[in-house]
Amino acid sequence: MCGMSQQPPDRSSLKKPAARPDASMSLLTNVMDHSLDDGYAEAAARQSEAGVRGLPRTLRAKLGLAAGLVLAAIVVTVGAAQAQVAAPTLAKEREELINRIQKGTGAADKQQQRVDATRDAVGTMQRDALEKHGNDKAELLALLAGSTQVTGPGVKLVVDDAKEAGGGSGGPRGSSSFTDTGRVRDRDMQRIVNGLWASGAEAISVNGQRLTSLSAIRAAGDAILVDNKPLVPPYTVLAVGDGQRLSTAFQDSADGQYLHVLQENYGVRTKISVEHEVTLPPAPSLIVRTAKPQAGAAKADGTDTGKGTS
């Protein structure tokens, strides 16, 4: 057997596999089997997965919003309940406070009435004393002392702050420590009043406050005080005298020119007019600085009955 040679197989006897009918259409078949690109397929899968996972997240958000609304409702309800409980107490305290304010206001009004009555009584006694001891000069003394009401021709001068006046102290304008503003200051009123006196005014009042030889115009912050009483702008200055002559003399004087400069440079508003009749009230009170005995007032034994008082 070893010497026998093997015959090669007959290749014609081997059967070849049958070819597919669509073998010639492999490209078209591939296109039909893979209608979508792989990238498109992956993107669609990711979008589907994200949609599946997003449903619980949306649900959690809705639950959180519902919980927040419930909590806010609870807070509002508790606050309203507490306010309703505390309302009677607050109303009672408010009523008590209103009663205290009304009682205090009533007491202050009564006290002011007593002060006014006492001031009027003192003024009457002072005027009687002037008339009794002034002889033929009583009227002049009363006028100079400002103890009587004065009515006659004169001028009316209204001075007001600028429309856009800023805050500032009552110091002199132009100094390094004060800001130039359009606010009327105490020194401005002093110059106006002194200018009217120098121009021939016989009696002057500022916002109803009669000025005498002892009157003082000062400042407290931005407020102007006349005899320690604060004034509110606009400031109305009434002066008794020869109206036309007084007005002309004042406007031509240095103080009148000073007022004109305030109007031009700082916007201070001024208006002067001649009045046929103005009425000035009496000064609220007079202060006796010194007193001397009259002739014949000594006692029979020669001792002096009066000493200087202050």
In a domain, 41, yes or no: yes
Q: What is the 3-state secondary structure (H, E, C) of 53-86?
A: HHHHHHHHHHHHHHHHHHHHHHHHHHHHHHHHHH
Q: ∠ at Cα 291 (289, 297), nearest 5°?
A: 170
Strongest mean pLDDT among 94-98, 174-178, 194-198: 194-198
Rounded to whole angstroms, how far apart are CA atoms 98 and 104? 10
Residue 197 has pLDDT above 90, yes or no: yes
The reply to whether 155 and 270 lie within a common domain is yes
Three-state DSSP class for residue 62 = helix
The reply to whether 103 and 207 lie within a common domain is no
In a domain, 8, yes or no: no
User: In CATH, what number is assigned to the domain containing residue 216?
Assistant: 3.30.70.1880
The reply to whether 84 and 155 lie within a common domain is no
In a domain, 302, yes or no: no
At 178 the pLDDT is 41
The reply to whether 229 and 111 lie within a common domain is no
Q: Are the CB atoms for 264 and 225 separated by under 8 Å?
A: no
The reply to whether 156 and 243 lie within a common domain is yes
The reply to whether 53 and 106 lie within a common domain is yes
Helix, strand, coil shares, percent, the chain, to 5: 50, 15, 35
In a domain, 206, yes or no: yes
Q: What is the mean pLDDT of the chain?
A: 75
In a domain, 69, yes or no: yes
Domain boundary residue, one of 133, 165, 200: 133
Residue 15 has pLDDT above 70, yes or no: no
Count of domains observed in the chain: 2
Three-state DSSP class for residue 153 = strand
The reply to whether 125 and 154 lie within a common domain is no
The reply to whether 79 and 184 lie within a common domain is no
In a domain, 16, yes or no: no
Domain boundary residue, one of 81, 107, 133: 133
The reply to whether 62 and 175 lie within a common domain is no
Which structural domain range is residue 108 located in?
36-133
In a domain, 256, yes or no: yes
Residue 163 has pLDDT above 60, yes or no: yes
Rounded to whole angstroms, how far apart are CA atoms 72 and 95? 33
Nearest to 249 by CA among 186, 168, 155: 155
Nearest to 201 by CA among 120, 272, 284, 286: 272
Q: Are the CB atoms for 250 and 193 separated by under 8 Å?
A: no
Radius of gyration from C-alpha coordinates of the chain:
52
Nearest to 189 by CA among 151, 141, 221, 157: 157
Rounded to whole angstroms, how far apart are CA atoms 129 and 121? 12
The reply to whether 155 and 275 lie within a common domain is yes
Please give the structure tokens belonging to residue 97.
């406070």
pLDDT tens for 61-85 read 777 788 888 888 888 888 877 777 7
Rounded to whole angstroms, how far apart are CA atoms 145 and 277? 21
pTM for the whole thing?
0.52
In a domain, 50, yes or no: yes
